[in-house]
Amino acid sequence: KPYRIAVIPGDGIGKEVMPEGLRVIEAAAKKHGVAVQFDHFDFSSYDYYEKHGQMMPDDWKAQIGSHDAIYFGAVGWPAKIADHVSLWGSLIKFRREFDQYVNLRPVRLMPGVPSPLAGRKPGDIDFWVVRENTEGEYSSVGGRMFPDTDREFVTQQTVMTRTGVDRILKFAFELAQSRPKKHLTSATKSNGISITMPYWDERVEAMAKNYPGVKWDKYHIDILTANFVLHPDWFDVVVGSNLFGDILSDLGPACTGTIGIAPSGNINPERNFPSVFEPVHGSAPDIAGQGIANPIGMIWSGAMMLEHLGEKTAAQAIVGAIERTLAERTLRTRDLGGNADTEACGKAVAEMVD
Amino acid sequence: KPYRIAVIPGDGIGKEVMPEGLRVIEAAAKKHGVAVQFDHFDFSSYDYYEKHGQMMPDDWKAQIGSHDAIYFGAVGWPAKIADHVSLWGSLIKFRREFDQYVNLRPVRLMPGVPSPLAGRKPGDIDFWVVRENTEGEYSSVGGRMFPDTDREFVTQQTVMTRTGVDRILKFAFELAQSRPKKHLTSATKSNGISITMPYWDERVEAMAKNYPGVKWDKYHIDILTANFVLHPDWFDVVVGSNLFGDILSDLGPACTGTIGIAPSGNINPERNFPSVFEPVHGSAPDIAGQGIANPIGMIWSGAMMLEHLGEKTAAQAIVGAIERTLAERTLRTRDLGGNADTEACGKAVAEMVD
Ligand SMILES: CC(C)[C@H](C(=O)O)[C@@H](O)C(=O)O
Ligand SMILES: CC(C)[C@H](C(=O)O)[C@@H](O)C(=O)O
């Protein structure tokens, strides 16, 4: 029985990089005897919104809820549609309603990608950011009082539940335990955010007891961001709340040269619901339609998807092909100083898959 | 009438860098005919806490509240005293009770300090981070429910008041207007933190109307941290909430090579209360007592203090002396590849003041 993948290209360059992602998955699936079936959906896009007045059909959960995974391009078009409509109407909905409580992103310096950090080489930076993806600072609890007066004030709550905190920590500790260095770093700010963050610290300490083989430490988020720049080699698995994880998983890829090639997974580890795999870059209206977008983030997200489905060998074959492609100047896209267009780069990766 | 400065060295290397800070201020004051009077205080330190069971005397406000400024070394000693006792018992108290609603930090790549960012040279990075310093994410409002059960949850509120937001934005826009580039960047996260952050954006937009000469933009905090690494030359004045400003004002100095030389001001612009000037580094228990700490952060904070008091020329003379000192390998401390000790470095700056 093939894996059933819901394919959602979305907006802008999402539509351009998606074919390359599919091409490479097909190549790897063929080589490694993995059966996949792609089902295409046009919703979760501005085009769909324009026609139907909403981002997704009412029965979106029925349409994609029983797939094995969702392969997602990009959504949003700030000039045409507000973020809170496009993003909260699709991406954030997936995260919440499919209980994708893990947001997972690799931070890895790749060959051929110049590091903005002086003197760092491929191999020097190689860690994972594990972000809590459903609660924390992204609650919708709060409000405004005394509007339009001098006494006006606005509040919003950060909400941390025992269930929510423990399950993301468990995922992060398990991941750390599976890695050679077995090292976990927790992002906190308990010296300033005096109620929720000490609770986070407390749960980290409790969870650590279950993983005696994992060395762990914690840093306040301010100095942690500084250490991403000054000592990126210190990290192996970094876990943070929804907001801190969001920050670290943009900063980390930036430290490895570009967020243009970074992949991500929005994961429900229990597989009660499909997980979403998408490149970190957005729809990029400024370069959309030119066929020059870098497809590596989309392709790498495909590798993460195969890994999640249990197809480790096929996944690793794709990552290896990405590395070999990036190493060749002529096969890289222009944003990385190459001269390949989106399709040429995607085809190169597909051919490199072994 | 001399400026009356309350001098609080605090803990660890705070006690070692303070004499150098005073030495340089005295040199600049003498050269520029500025009269200063230093009053020394031993509280806000672990030593004081050990003797008295509290960080500060009950009448601390009476003792230092009428001074023109507070010159502060470092506080905290994690192995001996919890942060929430040492920091919240002194530094955070000053911020709140002296209404120091601006936390101001320069981000400037200095000669002699190797940049962790590839290819960046002195002059390439030169901006200010303006942080709201009294409310926002550092509220103490919140609590825990159903403790020690599976239903346990913890909440903490972010609180933004019209007064609090508008006054920090006003300060930041004024600062931007006074600079050649006249450019302000606002840190937000209104696409994820859906109540307080859109309010912040709304107030930025309203405030911007009063400063038609200032170009402004906004970035979500995740991509903003990435841009600090990828495009530090984009920034002139960056304003953020208590938490975002905290993060950016550690990340910024890290991008210029070290937080070891960064200064900061906790400022009450109306001068109803004294402002606190302190180096960004902490008490550094690991190197305390060896006389090798870098005094530049302390000295630079002294320059910021003189600037705040209205003594621009003396302040600029100190910054110039810092630059000339750092440019000489033999005058730098070991953390910057030099071989000077704390005192030799301090004396060098004092002699360079012109
Ligand atoms: C010590 C801590 C509470 C403090 C803060 O977060 O405000 C520190 O990081 C700072 O920036 O002065
Ligand atoms: C678009 C935005 C709401 C989102 C987030 O903050 O979660 C994005 O930054 C991400 O990381 O996927």
pLDDT digits (tens, 9 = 90+) for A100-125: 999 999 999 999 998 999 999 999 99
Chain B residue with CA closest to A242: the answer is B192
Q: What is the distance in A from the centroid of ligand 2 to the CA of B264?
A: 31
Asked if residue A130 lies in contact with residue A237, where contact means CB atoms within 8 angstroms, the answer is: yes
8-state DSSP, B336: G
Q: Is A156 on the interface with B (CB under 8 A)?
A: yes
Quote the ligand 2 centre to B222 CA distance (angstroms): 8
Distance A219 CA to ligand 1 centre (A): 12
The secondary structure of residue B203, as a DSSP letter, is H
CA dist B110 and B123 (Å) reads: 8
Whether A156 sits inside 8 A of B156 (CB atoms) is no
Residues A275 and A32: their CA atoms lie apart, in Å, by 22
Query: DSSP string spanning A110-139?
Result: PTTS--SBTT--TTS-EEEEEEE-SSBTT-
Name every residue whose Cβ is closer than 8 Å to that of residue A354 and which is 6 or more positions away in sequence: A31, A317, A320, A321
Helix B242-255, helix A221-230: angle, nearest 10: 20
Mean pLDDT of A44-56: 96
* CATH assignment at residue A222: 3.40.718.10
Do residue A131 and residue A251 come from a single domain?
yes
**Does residue A147 fall inside a structural domain?**
yes
Q: Using a CB–CB cutoff of 8 Å, tell me whether A90 touches chain B.
A: no
Contact: B229, A154; criterion CB under 8 Å: no
- Spatial CA neighbour of A141 closest among A121, A158, A164: A158
- Is residue B208's pLDDT more than 90? yes
Q: State the best of A95, A157, A283 to mutate against chain B, taking most chain B CBs within 10 Å.
A: A157
* H or E segment and range at residue A335: none
pLDDT confidence band for A84 (50 / 70 / 90): confident
Within a domain: B54: yes
Residues B247, B297 within the same domain: no
A251 and A151, same structural domain? yes
Rg of the Cα atoms in chain B? 20
* B269 domain-assigned: no
* B267 found inside a domain: no
Tell me the per-residue pLDDT of B116-172, one tens digit each, with 9 for 90 and over. Answer: 999 999 999 999 999 999 999 999 899 999 999 999 999 999 999 999 999 999 999
- Choose which residue among B87, B90, B132, B259 to substitute to test ligand 1 binding: the one with the highest number of ligand atoms within 8 A of its C-beta: B87
Domain assignment present for residue A206? The answer is yes
The contacts of residue A214 (CB under 8 Å, 6+ apart) are: A173, A176, A177, A182, A183, A184, A208
pTM score, two decimals?
Answer: 0.96
Q: What is the pLDDT of residue B110?
A: 95
Flag whether pLDDT at A18 surpasses 90: yes
Same domain? For A251 and A283 the reply is: no
CA closest to A223 among chain B residues: B250
Judge if the beta carbon of residue B246 lies within 6 A of ligand 1: yes
Whether residue A109 is contained in a domain is answered as: no
Task: Based on the fold, state whether residues A31 and A3 are members of the same structural domain.
Answer: yes
Domain check: are B224 and B304 in the same one?
Answer: no
Report the pLDDT value the prediction gives residue B83, as an integer from 0 to 100: 87
> Residues A131, A76: one domain?
no
The domain boundary, picked from A197, A223, A255, lies at: A255
Q: Same structural domain for residues A191 and A73? A: no
Look at residue B229 and tell me if it is in a domain.
Answer: yes
Residue of B191, B242, B258 to mutate, testing the A interface (most A Cβ within 10 Å of its Cβ): B191
Q: What angle do CA A232, B130, B293 make, to 5 degrees?
A: 55
A93 and A180 part of one domain:
no
Which residue would you say has higher pLDDT here, A79 or B36? B36
Q: What is the pLDDT of residues B294-333, one digit of tens each?
A: 999 999 999 999 999 999 999 999 999 999 999 999 999 9
What are the tens digits of pLDDT across the range B55-114?
999 999 999 999 999 999 999 998 899 988 999 999 999 999 999 999 999 999 999 998
CA dist., res. B98 & res. A306, Å (int): 57
Range of the domain at B199: 126-255
My answer on whether B240 and B282 are in the same domain is: no
* Same domain, yes or no: A133 and A216: yes
Number of domains in chain B: 2
